[in-house]
Amino acid sequence: MIEIKDIGIGYGGRQILSGITTEFADRGLYCIIGPNGSGKTTFIKAIAGIKHYSGSIKLNGGEISGMEQGERARKISCLPQARPVPAIDVRTLISHGRFPHLGFSKTMTAAEMEIVEKAAEMTGTSGLMDRMLPELSGGERQRVYIAMMAAQDTEVMLLDEPAIYLDVTHQVELMSLLGGLRDKGKCIIMVAHDLPQAFSCADGLKLIAGGTLAAEGTPDEMCGADVLAESFGLAVERSGNRDGIYSYELVKRGGVK
């Protein structure tokens, strides 16, 4: 379990987030939502242990900021929104997920390679293993990075807007993939900007607005939160379209035209 108590984060002399207290269960898919510039990415970086914070962020009782880097990498994996596309093959990239678990020599054993193969199979990337990363489509490349995270086999998986550059078909596939990892016992926390998608895929939502945690709850609970309409100028409701891609939709609320 991740327990967050009264954290504050500043940058360049400006306070970005303050007074955030919340928690994430061991297993679940959580979406962090909020207006642009509200601090969603900063929040994710703090949980990843790569952004200094005041207050407390604990994973199973251990303060994240106090963990040695290798220990943290064995417990928490993070996929940023922007990342390099190195000229390496897919098998090599996915294998990088095992590095935190290897000894000083970083030698991949047969058992380690089996974990890599299983991660590729789980994410539908087995057929890409010998391809070079720059040759892949955006959707293929995203699945490969998720495969690397699966190979890292951490308790917590953090993703910053993982669907932002994908077409709708690949977005749906990605959400299904993340749901499958959640079902295998992972705690997945992702920043999301597509509200119908976030509401339809998440077990829980955290709304960051005004520099703090403005609301949290299940998708159905959050549908009725006034602060959601105040933050976005729109609201989210259950969709009546049975053939729709998502089970929630954006609606006008509070006189929005």
Of 11 and 4, which is predicted with more confidence? 4
Q: What is the pLDDT of residues 85-123, one digit of tens each?
A: 999 999 999 999 999 999 777 789 999 999 999 999 999
In a domain, 119, yes or no: yes
Q: What is the pLDDT of residue 254?
A: 53
In a domain, 120, yes or no: yes
Q: Is 195:33 a contact under the CB 8 Å cutoff?
A: yes
In a domain, 241, yes or no: yes
Q: What is the pLDDT of residue 224?
A: 76
CA distance 151 to 71: 16
In sequence order, the 6+-apart residues with CB closer than 8 A to the CB of 10 are: 16
Q: What is the pTM of this model?
A: 0.93
The boundaries of the domain holding residue 85 are 2-252
CA distance 32 to 44: 9
Q: Is the pLDDT of residue 255 over 50?
A: no
CA distance 204 to 31: 7
Q: What is the pLDDT of residues 241-254, one digit of tens each?
A: 888 889 999 998 75
Backbone phi, then psi, for 245, in 5-degree steps? -65, -40
- Whichever domain contains 94, its CATH number is 3.40.50.300
- The amino acid that residue 77 corresponds to is S
Q: Which residue has the tokens 């049975």?
A: 242
Q: What is the pLDDT of residue 240?
A: 85
| Token code pair at residue 191 | 């920043």
CA distance 254 to 235: 9
Cβ–Cβ contacts within 10 Å for residue 150, how many? Answer: 28
Q: Is 140:172 a contact under the CB 8 Å cutoff?
A: no
- The amino acid that residue 41 corresponds to is T
In a domain, 257, yes or no: no
CA distance 131 to 57: 39
Q: Is 3:25 a contact under the CB 8 Å cutoff?
A: no
Q: What is the pLDDT of residues 191-236, one digit of tens each?
A: 999 999 999 999 999 999 999 999 999 999 998 788 998 999 888 9
In a domain, 176, yes or no: yes
Detail the DSSP E strand segments found in 51-155. Answer: 54-59, 62-63, 76-79
Query: What Å distances lie between residue 142 and 33, 148, 174, CA to CA?
Result: 21, 10, 8
Q: Is 245:168 a contact under the CB 8 Å cutoff?
A: yes
CA distance 191 to 205: 10
Count of the separate structural domains present in the chain: 1
